[in-house]
Structure 1
């Protein structure tokens, strides 16, 4: 089984890249984000690979990061999601965007991926809500849990009020939730709404 390719880009197609590894060309199917980030023909490239073996084919899927590959695997555990849909999702949303969408139960964000309808998007965020923290990055589990509370309407009143205040100022729900999650991490869960808003705005100003 192939887990990673390190070589030179031979050609880039609409949905794949051919990587020359010591004279052998490997065709890896990639999402749009990966294809846009790896450079052009003749350039060095490293791809994290998921090898899919079926009765009638062997296919390689390539990703710019190991986190994207893990999301690709995880997405396919959702009912009705195969490799094509999973690749479309990770090709549209970054790992961070996916983690936020699941935490906030934001099916509309997932539905931005081509070929992903509202029902499939709803299944993805619902079925992965307790499983995504491991793919959100170091130290992200607490933040993920808080954002999940916000998305589920079970967050404390100061947290909910702070998120609402930031969205009223024109920030997206996702930006507001991220900022307040960071504020809670800095000030503690007992902080009042006013302090969370101040710290949330400070966090947003750094981005």
Structure 2
């Protein structure tokens, strides 16, 4: 019996959709490289008796993920140092650099198309360094531990490669000191947006 082109096209489409895209199996590794923007929330608490805000910054990002089960991976996020302006009472008071390595447990939904969404939760450690104060004082921000959650999706572009878009929330609160005296807590709590290329090994 001769098959019509429409039936053949439908059969081909069903076959393609039945093959999981960019499927991650137990024991797989993925490596990701891209850019990430760290955008602190609009109200960053009170420092030295006045409202404080921190600027955003965009840097290079790296991720490594190991799959302990099919579609379930442990991911480490790293990045080049972020630098933030610290404004107190609407005026520039200083700057600080920070690194926010984050360890997450991610679940990648086993979809049958080229788009594979994922969610994750974990722990963030943020270390601050090279703080400066415009008045010449000694500004210090304590390191911070907090939780982190994320959601994103991979779009398969080759057998082992995908483009990734993800959004992450980090709980970052840093006690601040000027010349050794406490001036309050910087409630940074940023949302990050990342775009990267991810390769599976």
TM-score bucket of the superposed structures, by smaller chain: under 0.3
Compare relative contact order (CA 8 Å, sep 6+) and give the higher one, 1 or 2: 2
Q: Structure 1 or 2: larger helix share?
A: 1
TM-score of the superposition, structure 1-length normalised? 0.21
Q: Structure 1 or 2: larger strand share?
A: 2
Larger radius of gyration: 2
